[in-house]
Amino acid sequence: MALKIPPGARITVDNLVRELEVSQTPIREALGRLEGEGLVVKTHLVGYSAAPQITRARFEELYDLRLLLEPEMAGRAASSMTEPALKALTGAAGVNLRGGGTDERARYPQFARQDAIFHDMILEIGGNGLVRETLAHQHTHFHIFRLMFHALVTEEALDEHEALLAAFAARDVDAARHAMRAHLERSRDRLSPAFDQ
Ligand SMILES: [Zn+2]
């Protein structure tokens, strides 16, 4: 996720054994887990490599899927919002990452992780475990992070997260749906130019 291993680059177990000074077993277990998360690909007779960059078509499909599911889940989360859940969401929204004059590029990996937690929490409160699992497996944020070196992404996305929090605080179902839809559409539009380079 830090792009130290470029997309598509081969990953050899022997090199990792030397580099990390552990035996093959934990390395293979770790690679198996990363494969399950879609971050590593195992090819017959070739071995492991870092997942390739996603295609534009897959990118569009991922956002299509998110737009079908997440606004509805945000609405449900708003209708069943409790004070503890709202507090947890506020903590997870990443608003603490705002400002400070730090390098946007350095902050992005942190934001990407935080953003994934925030969205997952909304799905959890939304109450449909299958939807939550389905989207967790897509790992949209993680994949897209690799495309993304956009300076404004953090601040803009945080504004959108705040709009979501306001809708949740008001238990406003329609506002939550709209805020999530707008956030995902803007997020998609911020990221898609990466394919034009
Ligand atoms: Zn977000």
Residues 43-85 pLDDT 10s: 998 899 988 877 888 889 989 999 999 999 999 999 999 999 9
pLDDT bin (cut points 50, 70, 90) of residue 197 is low
CA of 54 to the centre of ligand 1 (A): 19
CA of 100 to the centre of ligand 1 (A): 20
In 3-state terms, the chain is what percent helix, strand and coil (to 5)?
A: 70, 5, 25
pLDDT bin (cut points 50, 70, 90) of residue 196 is confident
Burial of 29 (0-12, 13-18, 19+ CB in 10 A): exposed
Length of the chain: 197
CA of 81 to the centre of ligand 1 (A): 18
pTM for the model stands at 0.79
Residues 21-50 pLDDT 10s: 999 999 999 999 888 877 889 999 889 998
CA of 64 to the centre of ligand 1 (A): 15
CA of 32 to the centre of ligand 1 (A): 28
CA of 26 to the centre of ligand 1 (A): 33
CA of 157 to the centre of ligand 1 (A): 6
Identify the CA nearest to 119 among candidates 93, 148, 85, 156: 93
* Ion ligand 1: residues, Cβ under 5 Å: 115
Q: Is the pLDDT of residue 103 over 80?
A: no
How far, CA to CA in Å, does 14 sit from each of 41, 70, 87, 97, 145? 17, 42, 46, 38, 28
Average pLDDT, the chain: 86
| Mean pLDDT within 113-122 | 90
